[in-house]
Amino acid sequence: MNTEEPKRILIATKNPGKAKDFSLLFEPKGYQVMTLLDYPEIEDVEETGYTFEANARKKAETIANRLHMTVLADDSGICIDALDGQPGVVSARFAGADKSDAANNAKVLSMLGALDNPSRKAHFHCTLVLAHPERESLVVEGDIEGEIAKFPQGENGFGYDPLFFIPSLNKTMAELTGLEKNTISHRAMALKNLEKVWTEWLEKEVE
């Protein structure tokens, strides 16, 4: 039995910002966090699902089967009320396949600007899927409510963080420190839900 395996987890992403988020969450718990940057031979898993869960499950299970190890995949996005829930599952590529954060933010502001006094309510959503070839996958979710700012604010974070304003903190997500963000973010909420069930799951994995 490889006693080290339960302490190694692969985060199915090449996104440095996302990897940093998960490292802040997992490393204090004693996990060695790997990412797809550590496995350049693994081809990108195409996100063809119509739901956050479908995309996260496909990534986690495909890579877990390929590497025969524990893999955590997430699919996250911002859902804006006035845009009928858009960008949703296409948040990362909302403005095009090149996945430009600046272009995505600009498109959101442009679309809202074209509406007559739109609601600026929005929420960040995260679905996490923890997979291993010998286990049934775990699926959990997390959300944080907020609003779309009228212009980007803050230098931290990535994606839509500069636009996502949290009224209770009077800051955008990009104005928070890494530790602050990982206390209240949608990923933090999803991870807290995962923590309620993953210990038994990991223990059974190595029996």
> Would you kindly state where each structural domain of the chain is located, as residue ranges?
5-205
Distance, in Å, from the CA atom of 93 to the CA atom of 101, rounded to the nearest integer, reads 9
Topology, domain 5-205: Maf protein (3.90.950)
Q: Where are the beta strands (DSSP E) in 8-134?
A: 8-11, 32-35, 71-80, 121-132
Query: Rounded to whole angstroms, what are the CA distances from 179 to 25, 77, 93, 150?
Result: 9, 20, 27, 25
Residue 186 marked as a ligand binder: yes
Q: Using a cut of 0.75, tell me whether the model's pTM lies above it.
A: yes
Angle 186-205/16-26 helices, nearest 10 degrees? 60
Residue 159 marked as a ligand binder: yes
Residue 147 marked as a ligand binder: no
Tell me which residues are annotated as active site: 75
Residue 181 marked as a ligand binder: yes
Note down pLDDT in tens along the chain; length 207 residues: 344 444 788 999 887 777 777 787 778 878 888 999 999 988 888 888 899 999 999 999 999 999 998 899 999 999 999 999 999 999 999 998 888 999 999 999 999 999 999 999 999 999 999 999 988 999 999 999 999 999 999 999 889 999 999 999 999 999 999 889 889 999 889 988 988 887 777 766 554
